[in-house]
Amino acid sequence: MKNYKTMLIALLCVAIFGVILTGCSGDKKEADKKVFRVGMECGYAPFNWTQTTADNGAVKIKGSQEYALGYDVMIAKKIAESMGYELEIHKIEWDGLAPAVNAGKIDAAIAGMSITSKRKETVDFSSVYYNADIVALTKKDSPFAAAKDLNGLKGSVATSQLNTVWYDLLKQIPDAKIQPAIDNVPGMIVALTSGKVEVVATDKPTAMAAVYANPGLVMLDFKDGQGFKASKEEVEMGIAVAKGKSNDLLTKINKALAGLTEADRNKLMEEAIKSQPLAKK
């Protein structure tokens, strides 16, 4: 009987020890997991937006019950996959993206951010991950809908998003009545559809998405140099990382981007535009 009890106790100890080892192994595996933390507005379709489900491959937003999707999320997934990391999306207001990167709260900001000289003073950028021409949006029943060039928008009440090159370019519209900048793209669309403004400047993908979701709007994509005159740095978008601290990360990001052709990127943007929420903002 004594031998039986001793054997039973020994077996129990082995079982408990096995559970402890399994737990430790799980903890170690969790600790070893590499995460690519990406920040974006989650409100800038078709580059990024918020939705309530994981449909179409959306990624859950950290600390939220909501999900993020869009071109930026698709690009982030490609990069995370290339690095062998797990993707983690953080919803951050536009003005907070650069500070969050430099504070180490996120590893990168993938948010339709133009690679400007001014921004290069505070963050480092990857190679170009999207080129976006700048266009105008107006309502189909607006007197400006028939405009053939910027002169056709003369005197219009106009606005764009806060802290973007789009807002700065409004000065190119003759006699424009420029209104205060708006915090985000949905807010711009509301201002336009409600009649508070007559013209909005934005990049072409954003305009395409806005028209797709709001049939009452029209995109004015002026050709042959008749539209907004923007420098190369104002239409080339890059991925922002911490200033002077992310050389290894930048190398990995650029390697992943190099694996995507222009056709690949255009296809992702088309998918993003078709997948965006159709509810009017």
C-alpha separations of 153 from 70, 73, 109, 149 in Å: 31, 34, 34, 7
Mark whether 54 and 190 lie in a shared domain: no
CATH of residue 192's domain is: 3.40.190.10
Mark whether 115 and 195 lie in a shared domain: no
Indicate the length of the chain as a whole number: 281
Look at residue 5 and tell me if it is in a domain: no
Q: What is the residue-averaged pLDDT of the chain?
A: 89
Residue 35 has pLDDT above 60, yes or no: yes
C-alpha separations of 120 from 8, 123, 203, 224, 241 in Å: 68, 5, 20, 30, 10
Task: Measure the CA dihedral 257/259/264/268, to 10°.
Answer: -40
76 CB contacts (<8 Å, ≥6 apart)? 36, 38, 59, 87, 89, 108, 110
Percent of all residues in the chain with a pLDDT value above 90, rounded to a whole number: 70
pLDDT at 281: 44
Q: What is the pLDDT of residues 226-275, one digit of tens each?
A: 999 988 888 899 999 999 988 899 999 999 999 999 999 989 998 998 89
Confidence of residue 63 (pLDDT cuts 50, 70, 90): very high
Rounded to two decimals, the pTM is: 0.71
The range of the structural domain enclosing residue 183 comes to 134-229
Mark whether 88 and 154 lie in a shared domain: no
pLDDT at 232: 84
Q: What is the pLDDT of residues 101-126, one digit of tens each?
A: 999 999 999 999 989 899 999 999 99
Residue 80 has pLDDT above 90, yes or no: yes
Q: What is the pLDDT of residues 169-191, one digit of tens each?
A: 999 999 999 999 999 888 999 99
Mark whether 162 and 198 lie in a shared domain: yes
pLDDT at 19: 47
Confidence of residue 218 (pLDDT cuts 50, 70, 90): very high
Residue 159 has pLDDT above 80, yes or no: yes
